[in-house]
Amino acid sequence: MTDLFAHAGIGGPAREPIAEGAVLLRGLVLAKEAEMLSALDDVVAAAPFRHMVTPGGFIMSVAMTNCGAAGWVTDRRGYRYQGDDPLSGRPWPAMPAVFLDLAAGAADEAGFPGFAPDACLINRYEPGAKMSLHQDKDERDFRQPIVSVSLGLPATFQFGGLARSDKTVKLALEHGDVVVWGGPARLAFHGVLPLKDGEHSLLGRKRINLTFRRV
């Protein structure tokens, strides 16, 4: 067991199975909270949040940025990964070591050893912002899991099946929680219901979601 899990006691983080290949790890980030938030500030200073436009011309309610070798972007040309920030023309900020360690440790705890993400999409939700049901399918290798970190205000996460019409389960995600999905759940539809207003002691009136992928 690494010090990543020390806060959760001898048994490690509280595990809540969601589906085959998907698990919720309660409070996993709390042991690294200060380091994670400091690293997040550095990334956002180099690549500020922005509201991207979908191929259909809609402005997303969630503000986004990225770090790592590649960043996920959307505009009228489509959804894709690219190595440079379209706002600055410079490479995305390097992924902080604490991000890499957290993502790899969470994936290992969930049964996906050896995960080495090269992209981290960072979403900022403010009250009313949401994420419609979707699949993460712009990556090349679906054998690699998705690791999703929640910080700030609580949110209701929806997790479904391989078809948009499949029944979803609703999970209440709190500051420090991590959801990992891969294997048979890798292409499951998922989303976030509109964020309720509130005030988090560290992040104020917002939720930050870090989603680690291997592009």
CATH number at residue 78: 2.60.120.590
How many domains does the chain fold into?
1
Tell me the residue range of the domain where 155 lies. 3-213
CB atoms within 10 A of CB 196: 12
Neighbours of 208 (CB within 10 A): 22
Q: For 138-165, how does the pLDDT look when each residue is reduced to its tens digit (9 = 90+)?
A: 999 999 999 999 999 999 999 999 999 9
Torsion sign, CA atoms 26, 198, 67, 169: positive
99 touches 67 (CB < 8 A):
yes
- Strand 71-75, strand 14-19: pairing: unpaired
What distance in Å separates the CA atoms of residue 51 and residue 60, rounded to the nearest whole number? 6
d(C-alpha 146, C-alpha 138), whole Å: 12
The pLDDT tens digits of the residues spanning 65-112 come to: 999 999 999 999 999 999 999 999 999 999 999 999 999 999 999 999
